[in-house]
Amino acid sequence: MQNTDIKNILKNEFKGKFLENFPLSEYTSFKCGGNAKYLVYPENIEDVFKIVKFAKIFNEKILILGKGTNVLISDKGFDGIVISTLKMEKYTIRENTIICECGLLLANLLKICIKNSFSGLEFLAGIPGTVGGGVKCNAGLKKEYLSDRILFVEYIDFEKLDVFKKERKEIFFDYRKSEFNENSFIWKTGITVENDDAKKIKKKIKEYMNKRIKTQPLGYSAGSIFKNPYPYYAGNLIEKCGLKGYSLGNCFISPKHANFIINKGKAKAEDIYKLIKLVQNKVKEKFNIELELEINLIGEFE
């Protein structure tokens, strides 16, 4: 009865922005995974509050999903409400600060920079996903991170059901992670930039893109699977285990970069998970190093 009630409530409250039993494989870069019980597209922060309140009343789990470029979702799907941020993509510019909502694509953020002759974010070129996801996982390169450019973050605390604002100095960021977790919803982020020549900015973006194309494989993947365990590189450790090109089911470790797992097109999430565990075990056996996942596992895995 509860599930029927919340379904009708969400359907009425979010007409044209509510889907049931939606295949999450369509929303993940791995192109695999099961269905979401409910998928909702909020357009503003008031919508998000409504969804969270309904979820609490009916004891439903919540998953925040942008472009799904850093997740592996179980073949069993997600038994709860998936909040898609993709309709929350507004932004404003105040002098040398871009204040953007969580659903703005990083690629579109760079277009805004080019249009306004803003420099400093070129290193984001080729990184898929949204600003919200980028903040949560502190997107970037080996020596350049999004956290270096953040002035503040506004977010919902699910427990306190209120919006909070934190300045950069108050926020914990580290390599490929932040303090923001499943109990918070990143709403707005203030990002600092500098004025520069648009042609120079385009040139830098192209250089970063070319470097990515040369070093990273194409195909259905979630980018780097494992964090680099300082002072080593995960891809190098995996390669030394003789796993480059190794195939399992319909997925394989890229021959171009061993820290990438590619779905040939019909892989199950469970196959990718098994390949992840195999890699972790082999690296542990050979080097006594435990590789930590850079991607997020969603749902149940064997």
The encoded tokens of residue 277 equal 């565990």
Average pLDDT over residues 281-297: 97
Looking at residue 4, its pLDDT comes to: 58
Q: Please answer whether residues 80 and 37 qualify as being in contact, where contact means their C-beta atoms are separated by less than 8 angstroms.
A: yes
Output the average pLDDT for the chain.
96
Report the domain count for the chain. 3
User: What 3-state DSSP class applies to 36?
Assistant: strand
Give the number of other Cβ atoms within 10 Å of residue 265's Cβ.
Answer: 11
Q: Are residues 243 and 182 in the same domain?
A: no
Average pLDDT over residues 129-158: 96
pLDDT at 1 over 60: no
The encoded tokens of residue 226 equal 């494992």
Average pLDDT over residues 189-205: 97
Looking at residue 142, its pLDDT comes to: 82
Q: Residue 274's closest CA among 250, 238, 241?
A: 250
Concerning whether 294 is annotated as a catalytic residue, the answer is: yes
Look up the domain containing 133 and give its range: 91-214
Q: Please answer whether residues 278 and 216 qualify as being in contact, where contact means their C-beta atoms are separated by less than 8 angstroms.
A: no
Q: Are residues 187 and 276 in the same domain?
A: no
Q: Are residues 23 and 115 in the same domain?
A: no
Q: Are residues 17 and 109 in the same domain?
A: no
Concerning whether 224 is annotated as a catalytic residue, the answer is: yes
| Residues with Cβ within 8 Å of residue 123, at least 6 apart in sequence | 140, 141, 144, 208
Average pLDDT over residues 143-168: 96
Q: Are residues 193 and 132 in the same domain?
A: yes
Q: Are residues 246 and 208 in the same domain?
A: no
Q: Are residues 168 and 248 in the same domain?
A: no
Q: Are residues 55 and 76 in the same domain?
A: yes
Q: Please answer whether residues 252 and 245 qualify as being in contact, where contact means their C-beta atoms are separated by less than 8 angstroms.
A: yes
Looking at residue 195, its pLDDT comes to: 97
Residue that finishes a domain, picked among 67, 84, 101:
84
Using a pLDDT cut of 70, give the percent of the chain over it: 99
pLDDT at 2 over 90: no
Q: Are residues 97 and 210 in the same domain?
A: yes
Q: Residue 287's closest CA among 251, 257, 242?
A: 242
Looking at residue 5, its pLDDT comes to: 87
Using a pLDDT cut of 90, give the percent of the chain over it: 96
Residue that finishes a domain, picked among 180, 214, 248:
214
Q: What is the CATH number of the domain that holds 135?
A: 3.30.465.10
Q: Are residues 74 and 172 in the same domain?
A: no
**How many residues are present in the chain?**
302
Q: Are residues 123 and 68 in the same domain?
A: no
Q: What is the CATH number of the domain that holds 269?
A: 3.90.78.10
Residue 220 bridge partners (DSSP): 263
Separation of alpha carbons 1 and 99, rounded Å: 42
Q: What is the CATH number of the domain that holds 57?
A: 3.30.43.10
pLDDT at 3 over 80: no
Catalytic site residue from 176, 178, 184, 254:
176
Structural element, H or E, at residue 199: helix 198-215
Q: Are residues 188 and 270 in the same domain?
A: no
Catalytic site residue from 25, 84, 224, 254:
224
pLDDT at 126 over 70: yes
Looking at residue 104, its pLDDT comes to: 98
pLDDT tens, 76-105? 999 999 999 999 999 999 999 999 999 999
Separation of alpha carbons 235 and 167, rounded Å: 35
